[in-house]
Chain A
Amino acid sequence: MLTSPAYKHVLYASMVDSKVIVLPGDAIPLAVGNDIKLGPGTYSGGGREEGSSVFVKPGILRRKDRDGSSSFWVNTQHKRYVPSEGEKVIGVVLRTGRVYRVDIGASQNASLPELAFEGATKRNKPIVQVGDLVFGSLCQADPDFEPEMTCVDSSGRASGMGLLKKPGCVISCTLSLCRRLLSKQCAVMEELQKHYKFECVVGLNGRVWLSAPTLMQTIIIRNCIKSSEFMSEDSIKEMVRQAVLT
């Protein structure tokens, strides 16, 4: 039977490129006197004794120590989107009316009030049809309620959100790829930007919207993004170089 010291040994023994892999049921190393913050992929039953706080999702352990407090979370590879408040997502309008119903790829459709657009009033409503793409942020994502979207920020500005009316295409990819596309040093985005001018909107629900001047370019960008997920930085550079030549 597994005792806790051996257990921790196992926890740190298995590493990929110096990354610690955690499994559901691994205990979170709670140091006494330390402030602990638990992020995604962890679960706490309350209390500070050994084993009351555990990881519940498999993935790479991430840890940040700052001013005597440590934060733990797990980097996972999801496919299914679970709404979380404040995240920006791309949805498809399924039904219009006072409140639009929007498919965001989660277990429930989100609701989007028709007045939650920049400058929208009762007289001046946005023109939205079924099938339109909309980019907005989630202002309500409690698991007990229906998720709610909005296309304005707290000051009533669109700040990039709204309907995606331009001709373009949506690609679906894993949630971790979406997060990576948004990071500042994303190799595939950097490389593509060098060669093309295009618009790109990334929703954290696994949807990426693209619009390039020509169809050919759109297809090339789409293929590059989709196949970049499991590539190293060098091979991404090579892939983009090859793609531009064709």
Chain B
Amino acid sequence: MNIIRHVVTMEVKSRGIECELGIITRADGSAQVKQGNTIVTCGVYGPVEAKSAREKVDKAVVEVIVKSETGLPGPYEKELELLMSSCCETMILTHLHPHTAISVSIQIQSDNGSVIVCMVHALCCSLLDACLPLKTTFSAIKCAFLSDGSMLTDPTTQQEETATSQLTYIIDRKGKLVASHATGSFDTEEYIKGLSVASSTAVHRTDFYRETISRKMSRIKQ
């Protein structure tokens, strides 16, 4: 009933985003985001009491846990945690809640390509749902270059396997690069081309977040 389907209106090809807020009732903020068959659920708890060993006097501590659909957490999950926590730390105004902890759990439910993109959207939606003070909203897009030099946006797992490079950009609403995760073999022009494509989607993503929040707020009828 509270699902927001994002109509694909942009020229950049990407699977539509579907978002449901408040899916975890006990969390302070939560969201489930579906992009094609990639599904990620995220829960945010905070600001809660920090363990005394981790507590910081000038800002909130952000702890991120990433769980993949199967298996024990390994290096891959740790790397994603690093990427996600760096996004949280730059985007949340942590100095407004000193001595506290903000804990984020991200569960990958199914991965059919561009999983980092889906994780970023789930993270941003659940931070918005939790009403934590944020600098701006942020979004992500993944570009994959094939061996013939053509570019795919928002690739599926199958397309990722054939690609020579996979570039994921996490951008703020002005289209500037917040975080990046790029692997494979590519040159500067390809990277910059991907970044400009990513920047062009930023406006659409902001509209999507606004739609999501207005749907949430419109539930109050009085």
Note whether A and B contact each other (Cβ less than 8 A).
Answer: yes
The interface of chain A, by Cβ under 8 A from chain B, is: 1-2, 10, 14-17, 19, 21, 23-25, 43, 54, 56-60, 75-80, 82, 107-108, 143-144, 176, 180, 187, 229-233, 235
CB within 8 Å for A233 and B222 given contacts A58-B128, A80-B46, A144-B98: yes
Chain B residues with CB under 8 A of A60: 217
Determine whether B161 belongs to the interface, using a CB cutoff of 8 Å to chain A. Answer: no
**A184 → chain B closest CB, angstroms:** 13
Chain A residues with CB under 8 A of B202: 2
Chain A residues with CB under 8 A of B57: 144
Q: B220 and A230: CB pair below 8 A? A: yes
**A38 → chain B closest CB, angstroms:** 13
Chain A residues with CB under 8 A of B210: 10, 14, 21, 23
**How many residues of chain B are within 8 Å of chain A by beta carbon?**
46
Which 7 pairs from chain A and chain B are nearest by CB?
A25-B136, A24-B134, A232-B221, A56-B133, A80-B28, A107-B100, A21-B214
Interface of A is mostly: loop
Q: Which residue of A lies closest to B221 (CB)?
A: A232
Q: A16 and B218: CB pair below 8 A? A: yes
CB within 8 Å for A23 and B221 given contacts A1-B199, A2-B202, A82-B47: no
Q: Which residue of A lies closest to B127 (CB)?
A: A24
Determine whether B113 belongs to the interface, using a CB cutoff of 8 Å to chain A. Answer: no
CB within 8 Å for A82 and B217 given contacts A24-B135, A108-B49: no
Chain A residues with CB under 8 A of B136: 24-25, 54
Q: B97 and A229: CB pair below 8 A? A: no
Q: A107 and B48: CB pair below 8 A? A: yes
CB within 8 Å for A1 and B213 given contacts A23-B128, A180-B222: no
Q: How far is the CA of A76 from the CA of B131 in the complex (A)?
A: 7
- Give the contacts of B1-51 with A (CB-CB under 8 A): 28-29, 45-50
Contact of A10 among B93, B207, B218 (CB under 8 A): B207
Q: B218 and A17: CB pair below 8 A? A: yes
CB within 8 Å for A25 and B99 given contacts A16-B218, A17-B218: no
Q: How far is the CA of A161 from the CA of B67 in the complex (A)?
A: 46
**B67 → chain A closest CB, angstroms:** 22
Chain A residues with CB under 8 A of B101: 107
Q: CB-CB contacts of B193-214 with A at 8 A, as 1s and 0s?
A: 0000001001100110111011
Q: A176 and B220: CB pair below 8 A? A: yes
- Which of A107, A180, A232 has the most chain B CB atoms closer than 10 A to its own CB? A107
CB within 8 Å for A232 and B222 given contacts A2-B173, A79-B28: yes
Q: How far is the CA of A14 from the CA of B45 in the complex (A)?
A: 29
Q: Which residue of B lies closest to A106 (CB)?
A: B47
Q: What are 19 A-B contacts with C-beta separation under 8 Å?
A: A2-B173, A10-B207, A14-B207, A16-B214, A21-B217, A24-B136, A25-B173, A56-B135, A57-B134, A58-B128, A58-B131, A58-B209, A77-B131, A82-B47, A107-B99, A108-B49, A108-B99, A143-B98, A144-B99
Chain B residues with CB under 8 A of A75: 217
